[in-house]
Homo-oligomer: A and B are copies of this chain.
Amino acid sequence: MPKIITISREFGSGGREIGKRLADILNVRYLDLEIVEAIAKETNLDENYLQNKLENSMDTYPVTFGNSFSHIFQISNSAMLIAKQHQIIKEIASKSDCVIVGRGADAILSNMNPFKIFIYADINSKIIRCKQRMTAGEYMSDKQLLKKINSIDKKRKSLHSLYASYTWGDKTGYNLCVNTSNMNIKDLILPILKMIEVYFKED
């Protein structure tokens, strides 16, 4: 069975960087755009549209179902895309060792015994990291960033609940939870790699 590493992460905690670095050093596939590309190919939908739809699909779920056709279409459209992503993640991940960040992969691939990592940090560290990532000319106040971080993480939690039997971010669902507050992401890679080695040795 392929060795799969899934990374779930709070927005601004450095999880994506950890995922990319791990995939680089382990010389395995880093699954991200490849998933969107595969869905685009099968559905003939634009990749940017898809990416946005997959990240925000919970927005279109109403508390009670509306009765307009467009609304019903929106719901079934989102549900279809989520189901398609689910299927494609399973297909792609089963081919060879890989690292997948987000997308509920921890839960979707649970039968394949992935090493499941959760990356988090305190709010100050996340705000600092978001600011460092901003492009020239881009500006958001701390208050705006806080709102953005909370809003994105809320969406991630909601989306995750569609796939998983455990709550997004609840440590019981993961093998390792790493707090990146005040830490240099680059330095964390070696200890995490060592933990991954131990896990797959004993699997």
Contact = CB atoms under 8 A, between A and B. Distances in A.
Interface stretch (A84-92, A129-137, A188-196): A188-196
B198 A122 contact: no
Contacts of A201: 187
Contacts of A64: none
Contacts of A188: 195, 198
Number of copies: 2
Contact of A179 (B120, B122, B175, B197): B175
A141 interface: no
B202 A183 contact: yes
B171 A198 contact: no
Contacts of A194: 190-191, 194
Interface size class of A (residues with CB under 8 A): 20 to 34
Contacts of A191: 191-192, 194-195, 197-198
A178 B176 contact: yes
A118 interface: yes
Contacts of A68: none
Interface in A126-182: 169, 171-172, 174-179, 181-182
A113 B188 CA distance: 18
A52 interface: no
B187 A179 contact: no
Nearest to A184: B202
B202 A171 contact: no
A22 to B, nearest CB: 13
19 contacts: A118-B171, A120-B171, A122-B172, A171-B177, A171-B179, A172-B179, A175-B181, A176-B176, A176-B177, A178-B195, A182-B202, A183-B199, A187-B198, A187-B202, A190-B198, A191-B194, A191-B197, A191-B198, A194-B194
